[in-house]
Structure 1
Amino acid sequence: MLLTRRAMLATGAAGGLLGVARRARAQGVSHLTVADVGAEPSVAMRRAFYEPFEKETGIAITAVPHAADPVTQFKLMVDARSYIWDVCMLNSEHVARLDREGRYFEPLNIAPAETADFIPGMTTDTWLAFSVYAVMMAWQNSHFPQGGPRNWPEFWDVKRFPGRRGLCRSPAATMELALLADGVAPDALYPLDVDRAFASLARLRDNVAIWWASGAQNTLLLESDEIDLSDTWSSRAQAARASGAPITLVWNGLYVADGWSVPIGCPRADIARAFVRYCMRPDRQAVYAIHSTNGPTNRRAFDYMRPENAALLPTSPDNFKGLTGFNAQWWGENSKWVSERFEEFLLE
């Protein structure tokens, strides 16, 4: 009997997981602790990754939320060799900052051929991205019945598009949006011209009604009448729209990836790597994407979802073409001093 490529991959995955279960039993490993961002994304991860992995291997997954910025937690854990986490969800900027501090990650041992279907830049020797969100804009349909801004120069145009604006109280990504608004081409953003970005922000500052500080706050703002337009994270805007908010999403901005890393020296690193590999599977990424509205990194995940689901995601081709990759390496090298200057700017 001939097997399809998908069937062969599924058979190989099942066989690999049986091996994982055997190794876990031999090593006395019955559970893994995974640190993630908590809230709704964690619920989606449990459905897509944690519960199926438990069912297929017998290895229980305990999910715990980490801090909004987990870099210090991760570093202290490894330095003290107190492995309270086996796997940690980090974005590319977190990884870049930890890499500057020393060796903090186990190699994942994933061959390049295994990620041939992945979006470029979503894997390294020590990090595997499984989730992509967009930094984009959204505006209230009632305030712009003739249509609102479609790009960042228009978002900055307060005469043509008057209204109460929201902007993220973080320099990362906000600086890039300010430069796009000032006419910098997406492929010329980096290295960031910080002086030019702050000059651009200064022109808009008096028209920013709220500097929002969390994704939950951003969703609430989009659901209310407190702001007319704002930058936003794609999944937060989708959540607002799903709750009934009459808003338009504009796929113009940046994309940022979240992924998994294993702390160096972790006593359960072998099984932790197997869990990370499990999250590469397109069928599992599809489930996560559908329930989180974050985009999959394995492009074959779109084979496992309906077109109406794919249309909501940052990495679907029609949406992805309007987004530019966030340069985590630049921010890893410059975040400290830019963040200090950003806070000073807000106090001026």
Structure 2
Amino acid sequence: MSSSIRTSRRQFIKTTGATGLALGLPTIWTQRASAAGQLTVADNGGALGPIMRTAFYDPFEKETGIRIVNVAHESDPVTQFKLSVDSGSHIWDLAMVTPDNVLRLTGQKNYLAPLDIASSDGAGILPGMLTNNWFGFSIYGVVMAYRTDKFPKAAPAGWRDYWDTAKFPGRRALFRSPIGLFENALLADGVAPKDIYPINVERALKSLDKIHSSINVWWANGAQNTQLLQSGEVDLSDTWNARALAAISAGAPVKIVWEGTYNVDGWSIPIGTPNLKQAQQFVRFCMRADRQAQYSSLVANGPSNSNAYKLIDPARAELLPTFPRNLERLTRRDTAWWGKNFDSANEKFQEWLLNA
């Protein structure tokens, strides 16, 4: 390792030490390639890592000869992303980010390199999934699920039905966070999907007033949500579609109601990476229908390339959020609104939870 690289590495660790972000750097730096034959990709880690390798990393390596080293970033990668660019260390060539991450990475200073992908090259890509600095490939929904053994005949068909405890009695659960919950509360109150944003927080809370006494569990994480549905502890719940599918895959009599919102994970490239052309090549690779089809066959997130559905088993396709019939009833989350208003909205929500 050259002295300049050692100095850059020490400087980065010193810069990030206060936030604890240096913990994983020794592994990253020993694996980091100086040649153009390797890309370091930061993804969400955990169980997703092997799926990403099967669907994207290994096939890209086989096709191009460019090695992919994947590392897990923090749940909120923005600080790591900025420090990597500002320090000049360039420990990542690509990172998996959400639209709200992109807003924070282009606000006061631009941290994102261009993808150099013309819109005309995005055949089959859903609207809004390809910009000059971000490509969204993994779509997940915030929807409703219910136990079919509890509702064998008349079943809830939307959020208005969830709020109708007389017609659809049963144990209920909701996520202990305003994101997604406020949108669904407004849908239950009769707000049209096109009018959800900007969110009327007071109206959302008044809608929640009507259902609060009937909520048996306020769940805090995805694993808990799956367990609630799978065990039958609750009969209806809001859910992330992947968590409902996990219960279904385990044999639980659960059905998803496709009404709610969706959000997207995608790729952005840190500005200044010495492997820009190879990183752009990898993003193009992830746009392909065959790659996205394999990804969505392994994880319950929907593809952004509509042509992928020609390659996905029909029974599986119907359980994905971008399946045309499902997507029709989903509204894309306004991450710009949440970015500006989350703190105040969450404060009001937490106060409501304590006092309702």
Give the structure-1-normalised TM-score: 0.86
Structure 1 position 234 matched with structure 2 position 241: yes
Q: CA RMSD in A?
A: 2.0
Correspondence for 1:126:
133
Determine helix, strand or coil for the equivalent of 1:275.
helix
1:187 and 1:49 map into 2 onto residues whose CA distance is 35
1:241 and 1:329 map into 2 onto residues whose CA distance is 33
Contact 1:141–1:147 (CA<8 Å) still a contact in 2? no
Determine helix, strand or coil for the equivalent of 1:172.
coil
Contact 1:94–1:332 (CA<8 Å) still a contact in 2? no
Shift of 1:209: 2.3
Structure 1 position 244 matched with structure 2 position 234: no
Determine helix, strand or coil for the equivalent of 1:257.
strand
2:312 and 2:340 map into 1 onto residues whose CA distance is 38
Structure 2 CA distance for partners of 1:79 and 1:200, relative to 1, 3 Å:
farther
Alignment gaps of 5+ in structure 2: 1-32
1:140 to 144, 147, 152: 147
What are the within-5 Å matches in structure 2 for residues 271-290 of structure 1? 271-290=278-297
Amino acid in the other structure paired with 1:232: T
Shift of 1:59: 2.1
Q: Percent identity?
A: 50
Structure 2 CA distance for partners of 1:96 and 1:169, relative to 1, 3 Å:
farther
Deviations 1:42-95 (CA, angstroms, capped at 9, x unpaired)? 322111101101111222222222233333333343333443322111122222
Contact 1:40–1:292 (CA<8 Å) still a contact in 2? no
1:50 and 1:267 map into 2 onto residues whose CA distance is 19
Contact 1:252–1:323 (CA<8 Å) still a contact in 2? yes
Correspondence for 1:180:
187
What are the within-5 Å matches in structure 2 for residues 7-26 of structure 1? none
Correspondence for 1:255:
262
Structure 1 position 68 matched with structure 2 position 75: yes
Amino acid in the other structure paired with 1:341: K
Shift of 1:129: 0.6
1:99 and 1:315 map into 2 onto residues whose CA distance is 27
Deviations 1:263-295 (CA, angstroms, capped at 9, x unpaired)? 222232332222111101111011101111211
Structure 1 position 270 matched with structure 2 position 260: no
Correspondence for 1:21:
none
Correspondence for 1:320:
327
1:189 and 1:179 map into 2 onto residues whose CA distance is 7
1:80 and 1:345 map into 2 onto residues whose CA distance is 43
Shift of 1:303: 2.1
Amino acid in the other structure paired with 2:234: I
Structure 2 CA distance for partners of 1:65 and 1:212, relative to 1, 3 Å:
farther
2:47 and 2:121 map into 1 onto residues whose CA distance is 29
Contact 1:166–1:231 (CA<8 Å) still a contact in 2? yes
Shift of 1:204: 2.1
Shift of 1:27: 7.2
Correspondence for 1:167:
174
Determine helix, strand or coil for the equivalent of 2:210.
helix
Correspondence for 1:94:
101
Structure 2 CA distance for partners of 1:202 and 1:100, relative to 1, 3 Å:
farther
Moved more, 245-254 or 265-274: 265-274
Structure 2 CA distance for partners of 1:228 and 1:68, relative to 1, 3 Å:
farther
Structure 2 CA distance for partners of 1:247 and 1:30, relative to 1, 3 Å:
same
Determine helix, strand or coil for the equivalent of 2:179.
helix
Deviations 1:93-134 (CA, angstroms, capped at 9, x unpaired)? 222233334312111111010113211111111110111111
1:174 and 1:192 map into 2 onto residues whose CA distance is 11
Correspondence for 2:111:
104
Deviations 1:223-245 (CA, angstroms, capped at 9, x unpaired)? 11222111111112111101111
Give the structure-2-normalised TM-score: 0.85
Determine helix, strand or coil for the equivalent of 1:123.
coil
Amino acid in the other structure paired with 1:281: R
Correspondence for 1:16:
none
Structure 2 CA distance for partners of 1:142 and 1:86, relative to 1, 3 Å:
same
1:153 to 136, 157, 160: 160
Determine helix, strand or coil for the equivalent of 1:102.
coil
Shift of 1:147: 3.4
Amino acid in the other structure paired with 2:269: V
Structure 2 CA distance for partners of 1:336 and 1:126, relative to 1, 3 Å:
farther
Correspondence for 1:220:
227
Correspondence for 1:11:
none
1:53 and 1:312 map into 2 onto residues whose CA distance is 27
Structure 1 position 303 matched with structure 2 position 310: yes
